[in-house]
Structure 1
Amino acid sequence: MKQSSTVIRLVSLIALMLINTTKVHANTTVAQSTNIENNSKPNIIFYLADDQDITDYGVYGNEKVHTPAIDKLAQEGMLFNRAFTAQAICAPSRTQLFTGKYPLKNGAFANHTPTKPDISSVTKQMRELGYQVVLAGKSHVKPASVYDWDQEWEPVPKEGVPRDYIPLENIERYFKSATKPFVMFITSKYPHGKYFDVKNPEVEDIKFHPFDSHLKSDKAYIKKRAGYYRSIAEDNTQIEHVLKMVDKYLTDNTLFIYSADHGVSGKFTVKDIGLNVPFVARWPRVIKPGSTSGQLIHYTDVLPTFMDIAGGKQDSSMDGKSFLPILEGNDAPIHQYVYGIRTNQNIINAHIFPSRMIRDKRYKYIRNFNALEVLDKNLTDNPNINVFIRQGAMKHKDEPFEELYDLDNDPFEQINLINDPQLQNVKQRLKTQLFSWMAEQGDILDERLGNLPIISAPLFKLDQNRPPLRTSVSKEHQNILKPEDYYVIEHWENKK
């Protein structure tokens, strides 16, 4: 009798354990499927910093900056060494992410200008594949008809810091309540200036490179860099908050990508310090922790990759290609070349000095279309236009018409090899491919000298001296350009 009672109790205990195990499994299953209708489709989060050099992360070799969140992200995922944007400036860089097209093709190749109104951006493309598309933070893109976010939250003021914060409360609320797969772009205002005011910075606290080593005794530069470093640390704090929320509320079927829209030290240029961007991806179910890739990838690849992940096919007009195979461990090339452009009109310090570049894994070719050495061939029969063509050439008087760099041996592009007799075949190959690409893009420039259109920049006019313009136009040259002097970009003039 005693033995029978013991057996009954044992059976009851086993049954209770099985029930509890089932409950735990059920709860785990519910937790794992929370926020997503179809668990095979991952959530996708893209965190974008603003104006940060690839050289200014611990994981990219700068031990003097505070970036533990990104360093840890790289340990848990994949670090890309050759990721690029085509333009080292805010709006044109972002439009590539959102459209899969280079700025010349999507139409926003000057800052503060709109994308062509007939383009289907990430909002429409991913919505058709069952995703919600969300922007949390800085926008800087237009028109709203192209970028019609399902949810959009602007940056929020925060005391004691120089820039607005990302909308952390909205992000957390969304993570907790989302009922279908989503793509969320979290777009920070950091470390873009205005920077923190760091008191009495030391030169030993700053890491220098060939492009700024001559400034080691410049106190103003050291103070500015110290403030920039402090702003990087503040952005790291924001990222830490986001990653904690991701790990708390979302499943491990979540792709998290970190990048920065361009480098501040190469802003407005086509140097790698401006165009080569940090790019780190974590996806626990897919990406091998601690992996790296040296393949060329580009911001135009981001949307095609997202569409590939979601089970769709990219639009044939897109310039990018999916790098999903690289994330999955197949580290094979997807591009032989990437491209970059510079448009110095419609910026605060507006002038005429457009450039184009092409780059493979080792070599880079640059064409500066209004270099001083070809100025005479660019002048027109219109003296008013010639005033500003001359000004642009003089502002960049030390930049040659053509540049060629061996990036394996000269990553900071200090030694121009354009006349090296052993590299003439490389030069010709890159130059031919660049002008072929420009024609495909519908570029307003081509290989001819003397073809230097002055674009109808809507905000910062070449012949005006109003704030915040810094061109210092002399009185005699103010308001001398007429509408017919400009090359009109139709969708800039008639934006909706």
Structure 2
Amino acid sequence: MKSLIALTCLLLTPLIAAVKPNVIVIIADDCTYSDLAIHGGQNAKTPNIDSLAKQGTIFDRAYLGMAMCAPSRSELYTGRLPLRNGCAWNQGTSRPGTKSMPHLLGDLGYRVGLAGKSHVQPASVYPFENVPGYDENCVNNPTRPNDTAGVKNFITRDDAQPFCLVVALTEPHAPWVMGDASAYPPKSLKLPANFADTPMTRQSFSRYLAEVTYMDNQVGELLALLETTKKASDTLVLFTSEQGAQFPGNKWTNWDTGLHTSLVARWPGVVPAGRRTPALVQYADVLPTLMDLAGGKPDASAFDGASFAPVLRGEGDRHREFVYGMHNNYPEGPPYPIRSISNGDWRYIRNLSPEKLYIEKHMMGRDEHNPYWSTWMFRSTEDAHALHMVQRYMHRPAEELYHTAEDRFEMTNLATDPAHAETKARLAAALDRSLTDQLDPGVPLDTPSAFEASQKQKPVFPGKP
């Protein structure tokens, strides 16, 4: 009997895959991938994400190009890296004329909506249908209660037309005010290796973890809605955690805990359940993949990404050779440009202005959302690890090389180790090829004048045409 069922599933899979799937993309906001239980997190309780993962496939090596909200989302929605779509700063705008998810999936017969946080512009590049019910402001205190009625109306409005809906949640973005922090007693938490251990850090981490669980509850509501509307079987669900959380060393960096994202996919009968894949994928690959699944033929010259549909279907575990990262610090702080590359095992980072101190004004200023940085500074006078974390964050060498597969939090820089010179040279050469391909000018991009030009939608450095 089991063999007959397996044969039936095998025969039916091509038929199911030939049907255009509905799509729901659920985006958490500033959630470090390694804090989730499915990626080895030891604190956060996320039963709904855990259940989704058991029903689908976990991508162990998924990345985004910039660890900031606007650039990462612009990459996800356009299939183009930040410099190429024009949004290479956290408050930047994409280049007029750029095509995004609403245009390209709309051309394939989809209605395309967005509920919650947008943080991308201009509207002509991102003409999502607005779906009500979720807070659009990630710093509201408290977050406004969500209502799934708008989502239900959108996904059930026309059974004859497939839908693609992005639900962009605002948790666990700071301020961490939602959820039950009492479920995470500060003294019992296991802090990540790249944290300095102070009472304020533990209190903040407790509140952040409460928001992670609050976010997980929202994921559960959406999954339950798919079941009650009988849309679950023909809907591809993608969950992603976006960039790292607003703790030093995560968001606004090119370290793994900044650029590495969680990606989970579920599509019953098509995406294998209970599977993990080491395939290397990047946000720029998502839109070409959705177009491929919808029956389109993505033009390779129009994207920095490519379809990983075969990986989704369980037909292989390889996709791209490298993933790329960049950081332009202005206007989040004084200019501090960074470029990076990873093959999933190793990460090479190039700090273009190593003579400068790295300063991120939200993280290090007197921001009510981040009261813990000053405690790291204070503790650094008597705690060697705290001192190392402060120095690591503020003063960075020209080159960094990490064996991420063995050094998860990238604490040991091997850039000057002769034993790894060949690895560094290989990654550096590949990064150079990418920067040339993107027409990346480097240091001049991370300047007030370049940012201001981008705001006027007249970028000085247009990137790859």
State the AA in 1 paired with 2:205: R
> Which whole-Å CA distance do the structure 2 matches of 1:116 and 1:297 have between them?
24
Contact map agreement 2:171 2:212 (CA 8 A) in 1: yes
TM-score of the superposition, structure 2-length normalised?
Answer: 0.81
What's the counterpart of residue 403 of structure 1?
Answer: 400
> Which whole-Å CA distance do the structure 2 matches of 1:61 and 1:223 have between them?
21
> Which whole-Å CA distance do the structure 1 matches of 2:133 and 2:122 have between them?
16
| Aligned with residue 315 of structure 2, among 330, 334, 346 | 330
Give the SS at the match of 2:171: strand
Pair 1:90-2:59 in alignment: no
- Counterparts in 2 of 1:311 and 1:490: CA distance versus 1, 3 Å: same
Pair 1:232-2:224 in alignment: no
> Which whole-Å CA distance do the structure 1 matches of 2:446 and 2:33 have between them?
32
Aligned residues: 401
| Aligned with residue 355 of structure 2, among 372, 377, 381 | 372
What's the counterpart of residue 493 of structure 1?
Answer: 456
Give the SS at the match of 1:297: strand
What's the counterpart of residue 23 of structure 2?
Answer: 44
Measured after TM superposition, the shift of residue 406 of structure 1 is 1.1
Per-residue CA deviation, residues 2-43 of structure 1 (Å, 9 max, x unaligned), is: xxxxxxxxxxxxxxxxxxxxxxxxxxxxxxxxxxxx992110
Within 5 Å, which residues of 2 pair with 1:103-142? 103-142=82-121
Within 5 Å, which residues of 2 pair with 1:27-426? 40-153=19-132, 155-156=134-135, 162-179=142-159, 180-196=161-177, 198=181, 202-212=185-195, 214-215=196-197, 218-249=198-229, 250-264=231-245, 265=247, 266-315=250-299, 316-347=301-332, 350-372=333-355, 397-426=394-423
- Counterparts in 2 of 1:175 and 1:488: CA distance versus 1, 3 Å: closer
> Which whole-Å CA distance do the structure 2 matches of 1:398 and 1:157 have between them?
35
Contact map agreement 1:137 1:188 (CA 8 A) in 2: yes
Contact map agreement 1:342 1:354 (CA 8 A) in 2: yes
Per-residue CA deviation, residues 226-283 of structure 1 (Å, 9 max, x unaligned), is: 1111111111111111101111211512100100110114110000001111111110
- Counterparts in 2 of 1:311 and 1:353: CA distance versus 1, 3 Å: same
Contact map agreement 1:87 1:93 (CA 8 A) in 2: yes
> Which whole-Å CA distance do the structure 1 matches of 2:403 and 2:171 have between them?
32
> Which whole-Å CA distance do the structure 2 matches of 1:437 and 1:126 have between them?
28
> Which whole-Å CA distance do the structure 1 matches of 2:205 and 2:394 have between them?
27
- Counterparts in 2 of 1:454 and 1:280: CA distance versus 1, 3 Å: closer
Contact map agreement 1:373 1:401 (CA 8 A) in 2: no
- Counterparts in 2 of 1:269 and 1:310: CA distance versus 1, 3 Å: same
Measured after TM superposition, the shift of residue 74 of structure 1 is 0.5
> Which whole-Å CA distance do the structure 2 matches of 1:373 and 1:134 have between them?
43
Give the SS at the match of 2:194: coil
Between Structure 1 and Structure 2, whose CA radius of gyration is higher? Answer: 1
Structure 2: where are the runs of 5+ without partners?
1-16, 359-390, 460-465
- Counterparts in 2 of 1:51 and 1:165: CA distance versus 1, 3 Å: farther
Which one has more relative contact order, counting CA pairs under 8 Å at least 6 apart?
Answer: 2
Give the CA RMSD over aligned residues.
Answer: 2.6
Measured after TM superposition, the shift of residue 373 of structure 1 is 8.1
TM-score of the superposition, structure 1-length normalised?
Answer: 0.76
Give the SS at the match of 1:269: coil
State the AA in 2 paired with 1:416: N
> Which whole-Å CA distance do the structure 1 matches of 2:401 and 2:94 have between them?
31
Per-residue CA deviation, residues 93-129 of structure 1 (Å, 9 max, x unaligned), is: 1001100011011110101111011111111100111
Contact map agreement 1:363 1:405 (CA 8 A) in 2: yes
> Which whole-Å CA distance do the structure 2 matches of 1:239 and 1:140 have between them?
20
